[in-house]
Each structure stands twice: as structure tokens, then as C-alpha cells.
Structure 1
Amino acid sequence: MGTVSVTIDITGLPHERITFCPSPLAELGNALHALAEPAHHSRLHAWTTATSAALKPELADRLLEAEFMWRATRSDFLMPAQPRETLAEELDDLDRMDDERFVGAALEISCSTSHYPKGLPSPLVDAWARRRALDLAAARGPRQAAFVERMLAEPTATRAWIRRLLEDCDQAFFADTWRRVGVQLAADARHKTELLRRKGLAEALTAASSALSLEEDDNGSRIVVDKLVHGRTDARGTAVTLLPTIFGWPHLFSLYSPGWQPVIQYPTASHEVGGTEPVETVKLRLDALTHPMRMSLCRNLSRGAYSTSELADAYGITAPEVSRHLAVLKKAGLLITRRRGRYVLHQLDLSVVARIGSDFLESVLR
């Protein structure tokens, strides 16, 4: 396990309580995020451009008003722990949620928070939580601040407004989209469920995403989500839901808020290309290239294979010093090393170096 990750304790949890299932509400949230942040989703450029252009101005204005719920972060209610067949059924489930829980989930809007605050009270009943929600909304803009003020003053009416907004999005563009992608997501969920049944959880998690793994030792079993955040939650006695997504790539979300059933949303494998390295590997490679001498050595190593003595002679430094720099580059997986007679030759692995940018972008967007 890397030094940063989200871990979900599943010790003693029967595999029957770990489910793979698509969610129309979760995918609608992903689609709204893609419309709000098209730069995150270059492969959806044609869809986001066409859909944005076709939006009626009134609907576009309403989406802008509420976009904090799916732009920088994802409001927790957009990742249902018990997915349904239809969006209407999932919206009905939201209607049954009490105001305090719903509003607290909707206002999880801080892009700077790397973990869930423990036991954060509802802004409907706690003055500090209320000020925090208003301050965070104000940082997003005057429209968002006004909307949060309205949500805190009139939660029932605002919840109805949110439902109508999501239903109008469904009618305007998402229903047609879901008819196409829902079939793919259901097929992916069936495949992962069969893997879980036949080959076990470790195989199913790895097949879902290279950022997911199963960790087992004397202390129990844990699902590990490789992300640039620290987080822990306990699924013992509850369940874990894994939601496949097409519109969510490259993001991998993990819902581990206190009091909520853990949910993981992963990009389907057929749409996950590049950027699959663990976060620790990305950090190693970036750190390896920060030293000016290693950058200089890479100039030679990118052009051909060199021995330690050749590099020492070229840069006027000692062979042991070159060896230390090469060891750092090799540990980061940036070198190809081979022996020729009594010489060991080193060369930069250009294919790995070429992926550093996309690997870094994926790791911070994950």
C-alpha cells in the first residue's frame, strides 16, 4: 500500500455484500461534471460541445447555479449505495432522505478538503457548519452563494428544485445518453460480478481499475483505493458498492463519509487508457527528474546507451556520483539497463518518460 490511499475495512464482510452495479443518477452526475469541466474530459469533446450548444438558456442558467454539487467535488447523494434501474427510482430514494442528511451531502463542496471531516454536523442545525458552507459557496461565486443560502433557509423547496433540475436534464439530453451507455455499464458490472464469483475479490478489483487492490494480513482485509488523499472507513456490517462509469473517466471516486455506506466509482476498463500508474510511482518519477544533474544525464541517456564511466567523463564527475544518480532513475523505472561484455549500459526508457505527463494528470484527477 502506498503512503496515500483510501482504505475500506471489509474484514469478515461476505462477498455477497460487495456489489457491482450501474447507477443512472451517478452517471448523470458524471455527465454534468463533464459539461462543467470539459477540459477534464477531452475524449468527450464532441458530446460536451454538442450537448452544451443544445441546452436551452434557462436550463443552462439553472445548471450554473447548482454546479458546485458536481464541479470541483461530487455531492455524496450523487453516488447511491443502492443503485436502481431508473433515475426516477433513485430520485425517489433521495426524497426519502431526511433534510439534514441530504443538505449535508449536497454541500460537500470544498475542493481543498482532502478528507471528510469526522462527524461534521449538518449546516441546518450547527452554526459553525452553516458558516463553513456559506463561505465555501461564496468562494464559488455569487450564484452559488445565493443558492446555498436558499437551501439552508428552505431545504424542502430547494430539494424539490434540485429534483426538477435533474429531471429536466434527463429529458433534455441524459435519457438518450443513458439508453446508450447504460447497456455498456450493465455489461461491465455483470463481468465484474462474475469475476468476483469465480476468481475472488482481488481479481474483480484489479479488473475494475489498476488503482484498486485487496490487502489482506493478520489484521484483516481491506480494499485499497490508490488516490492522492488519506481516508479510512469501515464496511464491516454494511456493504460496499462499486459503480462503473463511462463519463467519469479519468476520475475514480470513493465515498467514505462517516455514516455512509462506502461506494467506489471506477472508469470502465474499455475507456481507461494511459495514466494507470500508482500514485507512488508517479511521485518517484517526478522526484527523480527534479535534480539538475539527473536532468542533464537524461539528455545523453535519451540519445543512446552509456556506461557509468562514459557519463562520468562527459560531465566531469566521479563514477560513484553517476551511479547514485542512475540508481534514482532506475528505481523510478525510467531506465533500460543491459550488459555488453564487461560494461553495463544505461538508456532512458522513452516510452515511460513520454507518459509522465498523462500519468501525473490522471493521478491528480483520480
Structure 2
Amino acid sequence: MSLIIGIAGLPPERIVFAPSPLAELAAILHALAEPAHHADRHGRLTAIAAALPPDLADRLIEAEFLWRSTRADILLPNAPGDTLTEDLDTLDRLDDETFVHAALEITCSREYSRRRPEPLSDSADRDRVRALASARGPLQSAFADRLLADPPAVRAWLRRLLEDCEQAFFADVWQQVRVRLAADARHKTQLLARHGLAEALTAVSPAVTLDAARSRIVVDKLQDAATSTTDGLTFLPTVFGRPHLIVVHAPGWRPVVHYPVATRGDEEPRALSPETVGRRLDAVAHPVRMRLCRTLARGPHTTGELAFAYDLSAPEVSRHLAVLKKAGLLATRRRGRYVLYELDLPVVARLGTDFLESMLR
């Protein structure tokens, strides 16, 4: 499964790498709402949450559907500014119809990738949006009703909310991460200019690749979707967004890729395809292979030793070992004419994390 961004006719100078204060604030708000997605940021998120004024915490809950399950497109600007104020000014320039549609499409639309009637001008679509919002609970239902009834008032309320976040915690956080994000964006921009798009995309994430023959970018995601652009493509680095790799691909929007970068002390971001994760889980799920893994976790063994230990034929053990090796779960070394197999413990230890990251990506 892949998300495709067609780039035929897109000039290289319209591919932009730049940090966005609004996108990083949205990533933090998401992490506060879903801390289980971001265990590596637990200490920092706990400190931010503890310092939130009670009134601000309550107001964040009112609008958290904009960033909880995923980020609404309005929070990922395709022309990011240097400050949160600049990003919010750009957001203010959207007309009400565009703003309302984008704010509601993530949770109140059945088909993100297809243009639909607009809720402010189409009564049937307005009823559909209200019904979907109502199914998601009273807070979202109330927010949708307010937004549909008075878009300017809700837009002003949301801006004040984000500005209050800046005053409460984000200004300090942004000062700490903006240099890292700007440096990453410069590095990717230099790779693009000197070595081409393919190398720049590889540096973004192993999950993002260039299909040059078909003039498209392929993003390894648990979805099948497609968009195209000749207007431009924006890449926004994030510290707090890890492990998520988010792509704005709604019709009529300039595509945006929000990608995680490594921070000091982190390993470089890595991405396994869902197929690789599935192959590894299938490999260890078989009862015979699970028993073999139990032995191989304790030390290296030959095929003959494993066959004797479990009363299996050598060819049968070889077949199971081949499955585990193809899945990347075994390390091997030779001792004379014998091959010793051993479980690759660091790889196996990451199975749960790899599975979760492939789901969250």
C-alpha cells in the first residue's frame, strides 16, 4: 500500500524544505492528547501537561479532534512562516468555506481523497457533517455546530487558543527545537540541489522514495491514495511528530509531507515497510518456529542440534530457519563446516515497536 504524489512538470525550485511553528505546535498537541504514541517524549510531555493552566487545558479538549487522531490540514501549512504569528496569519487568509471544510474533513468526512459538497453552502452536506460529528461525541458535535453557525467567531477562538499555547509553553519549546529543524531543512535543501530529489527523499525517510520513471513520489503508508502537483511540494521537519509521517493529499491542496527528524541522543529515524513487519510477525507466529526461537535466543545452534532437540528432520528445521532468516530475525556465522544460527535479539526486541510505528505512520 502506498500514497502516491505525482510530480510530473513540478520544477525542483518548488520543492521546499522548511520548519513550521504551527505544524510543530500541532505535533505537540497531538502528543499531549495521545502520549502512548510518543513514549520517547514522555518526560517532556509530562512537564508540559503539568504546567498547562487549567482553563487552557479545558479549551484544548474542546478542539482536540483537530489533532488527536491525525492533524487537520489547516495545521500543516504549505508556505510556513518563521513565527507562529506568521503561520496563523496565513491561516486567517483562507476563506471560511475552505477553512471549515479542512477543519472537518478528517473526522467528519467519509472520503478524504474525493471532493465533496461544502457544508456552508450545501444543506445536505451540512446535515451529514453534523451527523458524523454527533457520532463522535458531544464535544465534537458542539464544536461542529459552532463552526457551521459562526465560522469567523470559531476561527478567532482557535487562533487565541493557539496563541495562548505559545505563551504557556510553546515559545520556550520552539526556541529549543527551531535550530535543529532549520538545520535539517537546510541539509535536505542542499541534498536536493547537489544530489537530486532521490537522495533528498532518502534522507527524509526510508519510507519515502522517488519513482523517477513515472515522475512520482511513493510514500509507504497503510493506505492507497494519490494526488499530484505542479504548484509545489512542501516538506516540514518535526521533532515531536515522531514516529508519524503525515502527508496532506486532499484535492485542491498543495501536498505537504510532515516528517520526523532525529534529535540529539536519538537513533536516526528508520522505517520498516508494513510488509516487512508482517513477514516478521508471521515468521515468529508459527508454533514450531516459536520453539526454535526459544532455543536460538539462548545461543547459537546448528540445524542438526535443533533437529535433535525437537525431534524434527533436518530438512524441516532448515525450512523453518529459512523463513526466519528471510524475515531478518536470525544472525548466522560459520564454525568449520557448520553454520550456526542465533536469534538477532535487538531486531526481535523491536518487533512490537516496529509494528506500532508501521501502524502510526
* TM-score normalised by structure 2 residue count: 0.92
Q: Say if 2:200 is the partner of 1:204.
A: yes
* Paired residues of 1:275 and 1:358 also in contact (CA < 8 A): no
* Deviates most, 8-17 or 137-146: 137-146
Q: Say if 2:171 is the partner of 1:175.
A: yes
AA of the residue aligned to 1:192: K
In structure 2, distance between residues paired with 1:112 and 1:150:
17
Could you say which residue in structure 2 is the equivalent of 1:224?
A: 218
Question: For 2:189, which of 183, 186, 193 is the aligned residue?
Answer: 193
In structure 1, distance between residues paired with 2:332 and 2:108:
42
In structure 2, distance between residues paired with 1:29 and 1:331:
39
- Residues 185-225 of structure 1 show CA distances to partners (whole Å, capped at 9, x for unaligned) of 111111111111111111111122222222222xx222222
In structure 2, distance between residues paired with 1:60 and 1:316:
61
Counting matched residue pairs gives 359
In structure 1, distance between residues paired with 2:124 and 2:295:
58
- Residues 107-157 of structure 1 show CA distances to partners (whole Å, capped at 9, x for unaligned) of 1333997x7241133222345543443344334431221111111122222
AA of the residue aligned to 2:7: I
* Paired residues of 2:242 and 2:260 also in contact (CA < 8 A): yes
AA of the residue aligned to 2:201: L
In structure 2, distance between residues paired with 1:170 and 1:187:
22
Could you say which residue in structure 2 is the equivalent of 1:359?
A: 354
Helix, strand or coil at the partner of 2:285: coil
Could you say which residue in structure 1 is the equivalent of 2:259?
A: 266
Question: For 1:158, which of 154, 158, 171 is the aligned residue?
Answer: 154
Task: Name the % identity.
Answer: 62
In structure 2, distance between residues paired with 1:56 and 1:72:
24
How far 1:344 sits from its partner (Å)?
3.0
In structure 1, distance between residues paired with 2:121 and 2:319:
58
Q: Say if 2:73 is the partner of 1:88.
A: no
- Residues 259-301 of structure 1 show CA distances to partners (whole Å, capped at 9, x for unaligned) of 1111001111336536532332111111111211111111122
* Paired residues of 2:19 and 2:182 also in contact (CA < 8 A): yes
* Paired residues of 1:72 and 1:111 also in contact (CA < 8 A): no
* TM-score normalised by structure 1 residue count: 0.91
Q: Say if 2:306 is the partner of 1:289.
A: no
Q: Which runs of 4 or more aligned residues in structure 1 lie more than 4 Å from their structure 2 counterparts after TM superposition?
A: none
Superposition RMSD in Å: 2.1
* Paired residues of 1:193 and 1:204 also in contact (CA < 8 A): yes
In structure 2, distance between residues paired with 1:306 and 1:29:
50
* Paired residues of 1:103 and 1:155 also in contact (CA < 8 A): yes
Could you say which residue in structure 1 is the equivalent of 2:211?
A: 215
Question: For 1:303, which of 292, 298, 316 is the aligned residue?
Answer: 298
* Residues 59, 223 of structure 1: alpha-carbon distance in 2 compared, 3 angstrom cutoff: same
* Paired residues of 2:25 and 2:170 also in contact (CA < 8 A): yes
* Paired residues of 1:226 and 1:278 also in contact (CA < 8 A): yes
* Residues 311, 93 of structure 1: alpha-carbon distance in 2 compared, 3 angstrom cutoff: same
AA of the residue aligned to 2:148: L
In structure 2, distance between residues paired with 1:230 and 1:156:
35
* Residues 24, 230 of structure 1: alpha-carbon distance in 2 compared, 3 angstrom cutoff: same
Structure 2: gaps spanning 5 or more residues: none
How far 1:74 sits from its partner (Å)?
0.8
* Residues 323, 17 of structure 1: alpha-carbon distance in 2 compared, 3 angstrom cutoff: same
* Residues 51, 304 of structure 1: alpha-carbon distance in 2 compared, 3 angstrom cutoff: closer
Q: Say if 2:95 is the partner of 1:98.
A: yes
AA of the residue aligned to 2:169: F
In structure 1, distance between residues paired with 2:308 and 2:109:
48
